[in-house]
C-alpha cells in the first residue's frame, strides 16, 4: 500500500509498538488480534498516504534493491527477465498511482486474494462498497496500463 519498503517497515514497527505500549486497547470481544493489528496498520498507512502528494509519478525506481536471479537451466534470456521486471514495475507503478480507496481494495482482493466479505470486514464497509471500489479500481488500473503500452489497444479496431 505504501509503495516504499522503508515506510512499510516503519508502519509495522509502529503497529507492534502500539500493542506493546497499550495492550488494553485490544478487546478480544470485538474481534481477533489479527483484525485489531490490521486496523491499526490500515490507519497508519492512510495517515502516511495523506502526507504524500496526491499524484504519483508513473516512473517508480525500485528502491528495495530487488534482483532477479536466473535459473541456469532456464532457456529464457536476460532480455526476457528484463522485460518481466519492466512489466512488474509498470503494474506496480500503476497500482501505486490509484487513489488510496481503490488501491486498498485492489490490493486486498486481487493481490492478497481476500474474499469480498473479508475485505469488507477489514475495510469496515459494506460488501457493495468493496465491489464498486474494486470495479472502479480495476477500470482505472486497466486505463493506466493501456497508457503504458507501446501501441494502445483500440476498441473495435479494424471492425
Residue 154 has pLDDT above 70, yes or no: no
Residue 106 has pLDDT above 80, yes or no: yes
Q: How far apart are CA 140 and CA 94, in angstroms?
A: 9
Range 13-21 average pLDDT: 89
Cα Dmax for the chain: 65
Contacts for 107-114 with beta carbons within 8 Å, 24 or more apart?
107/1, 109/134, 110/134, 110/138
Task: Kindly report which listed range (32-46, 67-81, 130-144) carries the lowest average pLDDT score.
Answer: 67-81
Taking a C-beta distance cutoff of 8 angstroms, is the pair 137, 105 a contact?
yes
Reference 18, options 45, 40, 49; nearest CA is: 40
Q: Is 3 helix (H, G, I), strand (E, B) or coil?
A: coil
Q: pTM here? A: 0.48
Residue 102 has pLDDT above 90, yes or no: yes
Q: How far apart are CA 159 and CA 148, in angstroms?
A: 24
| Confidence category of residue 92, pLDDT binned at 50, 70, 90 | confident
Q: Which domains does the chain have, with CATH numbers?
A: 1-54 (no CATH), 80-152 (1.10.10.10)
Amino acid at each position: 500500500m505504501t509503495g516504499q519498503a522503508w515506510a512499510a517497515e516503519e508502519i509495522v514497527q509502529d503497529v507492534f509498538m502500539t500493542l506493546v505500549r497499550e495492550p488494553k486497547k485490544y478487546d478480544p470481544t470485538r474481534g481477533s488480534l489479527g483484525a485489531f493489528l490490521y486496523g491499526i496498520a490500515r490507519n497508519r498507512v492512510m495517515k502516511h498516504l495523506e502526507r504524500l502528494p496526491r499524484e504519483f509519478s508513473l516512473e517508480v525506481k525500485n528502491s528495495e534493491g530487488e534482483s532477479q536471479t536466473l535459473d541456469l537451466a532456464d532457456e529464457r534470456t536476460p532480455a526476457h527477465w528484463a522485460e518481466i521486471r519492466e512489466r512488474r514495475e509498470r503494474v506496480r507503478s500503476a497500482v501505486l498511482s490509484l487513489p488510496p480507496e481503490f488501491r486498498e481494495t485492489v490490493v486486498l482482493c486481487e493481490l492478497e486474494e481476500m474474499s469480498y466479505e473479508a475485505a469488507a470486514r477489514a475495510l469496515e464497509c459494506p460488501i457493495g462498497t468493496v465491489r464498486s471500489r474494486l470495479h472502479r479500481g480495476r477500470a482505472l488500473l486497466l486505463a493506466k496500463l493501456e497508457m503504458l503500452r507501446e501501441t494502445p489497444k483500440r476498441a473495435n479496431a479494424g471492425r
